[in-house]
Amino acid sequence: MISRVLVAEQDADRIAVWRADPISGQLAREQDYSLAGGPAPMALDPAGGWIIVGLRAQPGLALVRLDAHGLPLPEPSRIDLPQDPCYVSVDRTGRFVLSAYYAAGCCAVHRISGEGNLEPDAVQWIQAEPHAHCIQTDPANEYAYLPQTRPADRIQQFHFDAENGSLAALSTPLATIEPGQGPRHYCYHAALGCVFVSNEDGSSVSALVQDSGTGHLSLRGTWSTLPAGYAGRNTCAQIHLHPGGRWLYVSNRGHDSLAIFEVDRLNGMLRPAGHQETEATPRAFGIDPTGSYLYAAGLGSEMLSAYRVDRRSGRLEAIGRYPLGPNPMWVLPVASP
């Protein structure tokens, strides 16, 4: 399998496509894909045939098809939006796109037509509070959650109807979290029924357990992403679970590191396992589908660092560093035949 790493370079109006060597993990820049409008968040559809891209300078969504080798094809399907999306995801059927809007404080669902294009009229818009940051369906495609950093400082809980794409608030509409944490992004651990949340304002990560019958989240614990004694400024950004389910990574902006945690295979509790120094302001990073490599982009350095993942310890070994264009906002590793 050949992996490619897509990096959204927002201020260059393009997506940089890097080819990853399957043996060494080293990258070679293969294509610059022009996409006007300020591409930022990206997500891959479950079948791997296309990506959805959020446009922030000229608010909209773009559906970009991939060829048999995983390379973006011209003439994407595009729609305009009244707000700029900070996060996009695709439901587990590949029929709906979910999006979150930081400044507007809302979320939306759009349908993919039978012809594989974005439908311009949203299935639904839901008003929330400012700083809505992330939304995605769970592995069963039954529930979705919308974290909002301060001042709202909350996680909204929804049921997702996979037939029509609509969201409905759960009977308990908000998950209980510790005040002041500022939940930002999250990821699922399908085997354990857990949700791990990166807390932007608290420089921490929280583990919540999902009730599979009701979708309600319950807080299990919260851990700092910073080493003891660090007193500098910091905010957390993205969070990703290793495909093997054992290692969890969170990016620290300020400490400029990736915090590493080991996931207890029985209860989902976390054990701090160290830090990897990385690029300045590491807003975005991603793990390749094989779990062998991790790639982190520095918003401050405009560089992309490549790391080999030690599956036994979760530690990262630096193996390469590559220049990027201005404002690298998202890193999306994808697999191709």
For the cut 80, the answer to whether the pLDDT of residue 1 exceeds it is no
> What pLDDT does residue 322 have?
99
For the cut 80, the answer to whether the pLDDT of residue 133 exceeds it is yes
How many alpha carbons fall within 13 Å on the CB side of residue 228?
A: 2
Determine what percent of the chain is predicted with pLDDT higher than 70: 99
The mean pLDDT of 47-71, rounded to a whole number, is: 96
Q: How far apart are CA 289 and CA 32, in angstroms?
A: 22
- pTM reported for the whole predicted model: 0.98
In the numeric block, which tokens belong to residue 90? 């695709």
Kindly list the structural domains of the chain, giving each domain's residue range(s) and its CATH number in brackets, ordered by start. 2-336 (2.130.10.10)
Q: 242-291: per-residue pLDDT in tens? A: 999 999 999 999 999 999 999 999 999 999 999 999 999 999 999 999 99
For the cut 90, the answer to whether the pLDDT of residue 185 exceeds it is yes
> What pLDDT does residue 287 have?
98
> What pLDDT does residue 68 have?
87
> What pLDDT does residue 3 have?
87
For the cut 70, the answer to whether the pLDDT of residue 15 exceeds it is yes
Q: 84-125: per-residue pLDDT in tens? A: 999 999 999 999 999 999 999 999 999 999 999 999 999 999
For the cut 80, the answer to whether the pLDDT of residue 159 exceeds it is yes
For the cut 70, the answer to whether the pLDDT of residue 337 exceeds it is no
Q: Which long-range contacts (CB under 8 A, 24 or more apart) does 41-45 make?
A: 41/8, 41/85, 41/86, 41/87, 41/88, 41/329, 41/330, 42/6, 42/8, 42/15, 42/88, 42/330, 42/332, 43/88, 43/89, 43/90, 43/97, 43/332, 44/90, 44/332, 44/334, 45/90, 45/94
Q: 196-232: per-residue pLDDT in tens? A: 999 999 999 999 999 999 999 999 999 999 999 999 9
Q: What is the mean pLDDT of the chain?
A: 97
The mean pLDDT of 22-51, rounded to a whole number, is: 97
The mean pLDDT of 45-56, rounded to a whole number, is: 97
- Exposure string (b/e) for 263-300, b if CB count within 10 Å is 16 or more? beeeebebebbebbebbebbbbbbbbbeebbbbbbbbe
The mean pLDDT of 302-323, rounded to a whole number, is: 98
> What pLDDT does residue 258 have?
99
Spatial CA neighbour of 118 closest among 81, 155, 161: 81
Instruction: With H, G, I as helix, E, B as strand and everything else as coil, classify residue 11.
Output: helix
**Model confidence band, residue 49 (pLDDT cutoffs 50, 70, 90):** very high
